[in-house]
Amino acid sequence: MGNSEKVVGVELLKQNGLDVDELIKQLVINSSVEFTAYYYFTLLRANCTGMDGEGVKGIIEDARMEDLSHFESCIERIYQLGGSLPKDPIDYIKMSGCEFLQLPDNPTDLKAILEKCLKAEQGATINWDKVCKMTHGKDPITYDIAKDILAEEVEHESWFLELLYGRPSGHMRRKHPGERPHTRKHSRALDMN
């Protein structure tokens, strides 16, 4: 890399003791999980049928639209850090390890659908906590994104825990799907105006 390509914004992170390559790797994996979960949640939501399914549909939709926001929220940062997304979308989807989110044997089994949603949210919570730990005190920009995504993942987890086990989440429904109270500033591409 010539002097003209010296990226001060990345050099500083290295001076702060951050393993930038490791961070890029983790961000690309996390973004693939969000992208793939968005797809699978689309299928899961579509299979919430009947009177019970009708209520669950709205919660899955809120979580689904926020996963799209989480995908959008990491892209710019990956490129700023010098990373990129895989050329082949199939490689990208495989990287997520989200096969467990495929429809259950009985596709409209509501409890099985909710269990899958919960597992996805718990996995995402661990993924973003990892990025928070990697960047805390070293990379305030990525940390800000990761902690905002983490806040939404923790909310999503609590919604599915409540639906499955009656553990109160204390949440009010989003005002509209895609409200994304914590990550909105990171995913402005999704704003309609």
Q: Work out how close the CB of 63 gets to Fe ion at its nearest, in angstroms, rounded to a whole number.
A: 5
| Of 18 and 63, CB closest to Fe ion | 63
Compute the distance between CA of residue 75 and CA of residue 97 in angstroms, rounded to an integer: 19
| Of 139 and 155, CB closest to Fe ion | 155
Considering only residues 40 to 69 of the shown chain, the ones binding Fe ion according to CB under 5 A are: 63, 67
Compute how many residues bind Fe ion; rule: CB under 5 A.
Answer: 8
Q: Which of 45, 70, 174, 186 binds Fe ion (CB under 5 A)?
A: 70
Q: Which of 124, 131, 146, 163 binds Fe ion (CB under 5 A)?
A: 124
- Quick one: which segment of 108-116, 137-145, 156-164, 167-175 binds Fe ion (CB under 5 A)? 156-164
Q: Counting contacts by CB under 5 A, is residue 182 touching Fe ion?
A: no
Q: Work out how close the CB of 105 gets to Fe ion at its nearest, in angstroms, rounded to a whole number.
A: 24
In the complex, the residues that contact Fe ion under the rule CB under 5 A are 34, 63, 67, 70, 121, 124, 153, 156
